[in-house]
Amino acid sequence: MKVRVQNHWPPGHIRTPAYLRGKTGEIEREIGLFNNPEQNAYRLPPQQQRLVRVRFTMAEIWGDAAETPDDVIEAEIYAHWLEPA
Amino acid sequence: MPHDHHDHDHGALSPSGHPYRKDDDIVLSYWQMMEISVRELLIEKGHITAAQIHNQINTMDARSPANGAKVVARAWSDPEFKSALLTDAGQASRDMGFDIGPMHLIAVENTILVHNVVVCTLCSCYPRNLLGLPPDWYKSRAYRSRTVIEPRKVLSEFGVEIAQDVQVRVHDSTADMRYLVLPAQPKETMGLSADELAYWVTRDSMIGVGLPQAPK
């Protein structure tokens, strides 16, 4: 399934890397429910979020500057950062 | 007495030819001061003891890549274990008897089609509960930024050339999972016991920046 990482830039403790925001990838696997670090980091009562491994191509992330377009990066993204693509 | 002579030159080299390292007589940083203060308060108020802290440091220091090497060697020699490792590497490591605490571990397998390499662009996440503390370069800004931009160039600087028909898969440890690369078993090791195989598994091969090597 294809998903897009939201292109949001909120302040605070964010574990969605800047270079993946706004990028589209394929769900590699669902990992399970984890406490949302954006709340956890500030001792706020954390909501559980689905954590998802998403696979992005180098071409999608770096465009024409990609070292090898078909190589991939996989990263864990919390579900509230993802939208259908 | 060795320090009585007056021609002692503090700018000189040690007997092994290295410059003497200066004492670290520098002012504590804000965060160092914070760590010491919190630690001393926890001890003073009786929440934990200095011995408990020291034991925890010793436990972490005792973890080493040799633990991961045993896991990889078993996966090479025991197909059922390999399948368990690829399903849930944390549980498979615990079942082998390793105390990895609450760590969530994923093993990623190198094949003739895929080469895996692990990085943490946001900080320095590393499967330290299995492999021990990460190497310094793993925490450097250069490794953390370049591995997602030009992984093949980074790997070649580690002496690993990846053929163009092999896909490079970079795993960015952005959140709760930690990663262990299961390197491909070298052909010349087929038939060796798990104990013998473990000597071939290097730390770097489990991060993905190296390959297994014949023991020296």
Sorted by sequence, the CB contacts under 8 Å of residue B160 that are 6+ apart come out as: B209, B210, B211
Give the pLDDT mean for B185-203. Answer: 97
CB of B153 within 8 Å of a chain A CB? The answer is yes
Give the pLDDT mean for A40-56. Answer: 95
Is residue B122 left, alpha or beta, with left meaning phi > 0 and alpha meaning psi from -120 to 50? alpha
Q: What is the token pair recorded at B155?
A: 């790997």
Give the pLDDT mean for B70-90. Answer: 98
* Whole-number pLDDT of residue B20: 86
Give the pLDDT mean for B63-83. Answer: 98
**How does B63-76 read in b/e, with b if 16+ C-beta sit within 10 Å?**
bebebbbbbbbbbb
- Superfamily per CATH, domain B64-207: Nitrile hydratase alpha /Thiocyanate hydrolase gamma (3.90.330.10)
The answer, yes or no, to whether residue B51 has pLDDT greater than 80, is yes
Contacts of A75 in chain B (CB under 8 A): 171-172, 174
| Candidates B123, B140, B145, B156; catalytic one | B123
Tell me the per-residue pLDDT of B20-34, one tens digit each, with 9 for 90 and over: 888 888 899 999 999
DSSP string spanning B33-56? HHHHHHHHHHHHTTSS-HHHHHHH
The question of ipTM being above 0.95 is answered as: yes
- Tokens 């191509």 correspond to A57
Contacts of A72 in chain B (CB under 8 A): 167-170
CB of B104 within 8 Å of a chain A CB? The answer is yes
* Whole-number pLDDT of residue B10: 55
Contacts of B173 in chain A (CB under 8 A): 76
User: β-strands A82-84, A2-5: how paired?
Assistant: antiparallel
Whether residue B173 lies in the annotated active site = no
| Candidates B77, B93, B120, B173; catalytic one | B120
* Whole-number pLDDT of residue B25: 87
Counted residue by residue, chain A has a size of 85
How many Cβ atoms from other residues are within 10 Å of residue A4's Cβ? 16
The answer, yes or no, to whether residue B105 has pLDDT greater than 90, is yes
Tell me the per-residue pLDDT of B108-148, one tens digit each, with 9 for 90 and over: 999 999 999 999 999 999 999 999 999 999 999 999 999 99
From the list A37, A62, A77, which residue is nearest B149 (CB)? A62
Q: Where in chain B is the domain with CATH 3.90.330.10?
A: 64-207
The torsion angles phi and psi of A39, rounded to 5 degrees, stand at -95, -40
* Whole-number pLDDT of residue A11: 94
Pairwise CB contact (< 8 Å): A68 & B164: yes
Confidence class of residue B11 from pLDDT cuts 50, 70 and 90? low
Contacts of A37 in chain B (CB under 8 A): 175
Contact, A26 vs A60, CB < 8 A? no
What residue spans of A1-85 are helical by DSSP H? Answer: 37-40, 58-62
- Nearest chain B Cα distance for residue A16, angstroms: 7
For the entire predicted model, the pTM comes to 0.90
Mean pLDDT of chain B: 94
Give the pLDDT mean for A39-68. Answer: 96
How many Cβ atoms from other residues are within 10 Å of residue B101's Cβ? 12
Sorted by sequence, the CB contacts under 8 Å of residue B208 that are 6+ apart come out as: B110, B115, B116, B117, B118, B155, B171, B181
Domains and CATH numbers, chain A: 2-84 (2.30.30.50)
* Whole-number pLDDT of residue B119: 98
Identity of residue A16 = T
